[in-house]
Amino acid sequence: MRAIYRGMKFIYGTALDEGNFERYGSDYLWCFYSVGASVRDAGVRGMARRMGRESARAWRRGHRSLPEDADAVTLIDFAFGNDAADSLGVGDGGRLKAQLRRAAALFKASDFLLFDPLNEEPPRDVPEACEFDKSESPRGSKACRRCGRALKMRSRYDVWYDALITAYTGERSGVRLGAAYADVLKWLPSMRPYRGSEGGANEEFYDTVYAVTHVVYTLNDYGQYRLSPARLPQEFEFLRSNLHEAVAQDDADMLGEFMDTLRAFGLTEADPEIRAGMEYLLARQNADGSWGGVNEKDIYLRYHPTWNAVAALSEYAWRGGGLSVPGRKYFQGPRR
């Protein structure tokens, strides 16, 4: 338990930095909310809620209204932060949500999700930002529109799980961000079967892991509901069969995602996979309470592995078996 407290204090310490919070404020809010809403230990829950409410008040002070020239990326960030702040009990009377709804209606699905899930499956032709000048280029571009250098393409799993998160958050917050969650999740069968690491030969393995874990997260409200392996047998088998890869790759962030989602399927400390993961994490916590590389320059690569390790080491206060509201709409409604 001490490791969990130390991890939470590290995360909060990084959130107090103005530069970090300006860049990742909405994500910090979701971290504190999700930990405070899901873990069993009352002390950790209370700590996360206090950190979250204080952070949410700071976020509200800097996000009183939507900028007039807000693009789709800005809308997503504001929608994520507004939903997390509301969930932490720091509301604004619905003023920002009303602005978000009006503004979001002016954009297309592809503006938010990088593809139109109503009419096409997750694509393979979305370029990554240029690794030299960090500029974004339109879908289908093979060369950077600014410097002309060759671009790498994002995997379809990467595009899909970003869309899952965006549509899920939009639906739970009451702001439609391009499409309904069900319209994105309906492509689940087309993403199967899932390939393993294949000794490093599968370049899409990393994105596949995060796509599968975010299917679980968005269906169980990020650790609030248990899921039956029978509902998602291929996802459960992929996670259970590949957890060892995160240990082999010395990747605490990925390991946290494996363990967190396998707990949702019913695995506990009595299972060898979870025990091995816990031993790994407890042996590799950094002196400052974090997990991951201490020399990473991007603070996201410091606090996010720590968040995932905290989640992996925690026991959950499950609300029982069930699905998130967006998930229920998919499984109980007509399949499209």
pLDDT tens-place string over residues 74-127: 999 999 999 999 999 999 999 999 999 999 999 999 999 999 999 999 999 999
Q: What share of the chain in percent tops pLDDT 70?
A: 99
**What is the rounded distance in angstroms from the CA atom of residue 206 to the CA atom of residue 217?**
17
- φ, ψ of residue 207 in degrees (nearest 5): -65, -30
Label residue 322 by pLDDT band (50, 70, 90). confident
Residues 6 or more apart whose Cβ sits within 8 Å of residue 134: none
Q: Which of 254, 293, 296, 307 lies closest to 277, judged by CA?
A: 254
pLDDT of residue 331: 77
List Cα–Cα distances, 330 to 170, 183, 187, 323, 324, in angstroms: 15, 8, 12, 10, 10
pTM, entire model: 0.95
Label residue 333 by pLDDT band (50, 70, 90). low
> Structural domain boundaries of the chain?
1-107
Partners of residue 153 on adjacent β-strands: 127
As a dihedral over the C-alpha atoms of residue 114, residue 120, residue 123, residue 128, rounded to 10 degrees, the angle is: -10
Sole residue written with tokens 């905290």: 310
Output Rg (C-alpha) for the chain, integer angstroms: 19
Residues 6 or more apart whose Cβ sits within 8 Å of residue 195: 202, 204, 205, 208
**What is the rounded distance in angstroms from the CA atom of residue 150 to the CA atom of residue 215?**
32
- φ, ψ of residue 132 in degrees (nearest 5): -95, -50
Q: For 7, what's the count of Cα atoms within 13 Å in the CB-facing half-sphere? A: 30
In the predicted model, what is the mean pLDDT of residues 25-51? 98
Whether the link from the prior residue into 193 is cis, omega within 30° of 0, is yes
